[in-house]
Every structure is written in structure tokens, then in C-alpha cells.
Amino acid sequence: MQAGWNEADVSRLQLDESNQDWVSTSFGNPITKLTYADGTGIWKYRNRSEKDTEVGLFLVFSVDIEEERNETLSVEFTDGIVTNYWIEEDRF
């Protein structure tokens, strides 16, 4: 699995300006590349993060809460140029 991306990386995507070479250089190899009959393509990138939170109860007990987030960044291309992107999030 590739190294994760963050919101700062995604914010650099420019609709109708960024191209496939720039996306590949910035995000690496996608986990999936889809190409449709009309020439539109979608590249998907996965990001996984874990967050531990410690919650104190009544100043006596402490509970650790672990949250795992899986996000998928989808980047849509038309003629090699970014035309759309979105993030889908799964929490466990």
C-alpha cells in the first residue's frame, strides 16, 4: 500500500489544470485505474489512518478508544486533465 495522502495534498489538485503526470508524481501509483468508453478515466488512491483517544471517567477510570479510518480518493480525468475528485470515507 502506498504512503498516505492528506488534505494539503488534495487541496493542490486543480480542476481543469492538473494532469495525469502531475497526479502520478504527487500521489504515486493508484490502487485502481478505470477507463470508460467515452475516454473518461478514474484513478483511486487509498489512505488509512488510526486515531487513539483516551477518555477519563470520574477521574478514576481511563478508556482507550481506537478509531480506524479508510478513505478513498477518486480523481476523474477527461483527456488527461483532472475534471473532478472526491473522497469517500469508511470508519470502523
pLDDT of residue 2: 47
User: pTM for this one?
Assistant: 0.75
The DSSP result for 23-54, as a single string, is: HHHHH-S-SEEEE-TTS-EEEEEEEEEEEEEE
Confidence band for 1, pLDDT divided at 50, 70 and 90: very low
3-class DSSP state for residue 79? coil
Q: Identify the residue with better confidence: 80 or 60.
A: 80
Domain boundaries, the chain: 7-91
Residue-wise pLDDT for 33-71, tens only, equals 999 999 999 999 998 776 656 656 566 666 666 667 789
Q: Residue 92 above 60 pLDDT? A: no
